[in-house]
Structure formats: structure tokens, C-alpha cells
């Protein structure tokens, strides 16, 4: 991820309603939610909801798909992963970017069972 894309993503998330929308979509998984359900979850009127979703979509954080007469919105986990990787790139005593990218992938993969291009996390067995 380039700096300008990270700035756009962070700017889109730097607003309370948009952050709430994005968090609701992350929690919803790849199926996402219809606009009406998002409005219920975050307590935003429909008139402002479309503005906020447009801002998140412009930053690449949200995708939309039409199903019949409804539009469903979902978080773009790949972009979320790239943003987390960008933010953590120089952490952990200079961890190489490839390893830092795994941090973002791990975060994104734990939120959804099937993120394209990312492995599904495996469950650890307890040594009981």
C-alpha cells in the first residue's frame, strides 16, 4: 500500500459514523449487510448513510453488490489487511515487510472464513 492510499483509508475511518459502519461490516463477514440494516446497526439516517458509505468505498474499504432490489455492502478485507500491514511495516525491531504483511492477513482472516488469497486460520488443539 502506498502512503496516499493509507492516508485516504485512515481519513475515511477518522469519522465516528464511518468507523462504526466499517466495524459493523467487518463483523458481518463477506456477506455484509443491506443499507437498511447498516442504518439500524449504527443509528444513522439513510440520507447520511449513503454519504458515509460513498466515502468508505472511495477509500477502497467497502465493496457493494446488488442482489435483487437491495444493495449489500461488505468490508474489503484485502484492503484492511494492506492497511494494517502498512501501519505495522516497521514494527517488531525491523520485521521484514513480508512478515509484517502476515500480521494484517492474520487479522483479516480471523474475521471471515473465506477471504480470497488468504489461508483460513487453523484451530489449535489444547494439550489437555
Mean pLDDT of 105-118: 54
Q: What is the pLDDT of residue 32?
A: 94
What mean pLDDT, rounded, does the chain reach?
Answer: 80
For the chain, the domains span 3-76, 78-111
Q: Check: CB of residue 44 under 8 Å from CB of residue 22.
A: no
Task: Assign 126 a pLDDT band (cuts: 50, 70, 90).
Answer: very low
Q: What is the pLDDT of residue 56?
A: 97
pLDDT: which is higher, 92 or 56: 56
* Residues 10-32 pLDDT 10s: 999 999 999 999 999 999 999 99
**Cα(120)–Cα(48) distance, integer angstroms:** 35
Q: pTM of the full predicted structure?
A: 0.73
pLDDT at residue 115 above 70? no
* Locus of grid cell 439516517: 45
Which fold, 3-76? Arc Repressor Mutant, subunit A (1.10.10)
**Cα(113)–Cα(20) distance, integer angstroms:** 22
Mean pLDDT of 90-104: 64
Amino acid at each position: 500500500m502506498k502512503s496516499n492510499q493509507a492516508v485516504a483509508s485512515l481519513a475515511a475511518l477518522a469519522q465516528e459514523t464511518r468507523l462504526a459502519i466499517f466495524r459493523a461490516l467487518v463483523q458481518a463477514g463477506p456477506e455484509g449487510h443491506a443499507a437498511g440494516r447498516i442504518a439500524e446497526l449504527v443509528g444513522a439516517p439513510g440520507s447520511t448513510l449513503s454519504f458515509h458509505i460513498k466515502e468508505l468505498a472511495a477509500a477502497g474499504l467497502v465493496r457493494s453488490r446488488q442482489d435483487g432490489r437491495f444493495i449489500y455492502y461488505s468490508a474489503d478485507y484485502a484492503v484492511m489487511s494492506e492497511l494494517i500491514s502498512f501501519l505495522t511495516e516497521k514494527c517488531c525491531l525491523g520485521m521484514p515487510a513480508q512478515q509484517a504483511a502476515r500480521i494484517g492477513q492474520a487479522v483479516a482472516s480471523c474475521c471471515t472464513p473465506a477471504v480470497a488469497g488468504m489461508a483460513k486460520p487453523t484451530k489449535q488443539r489444547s494439550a489437555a
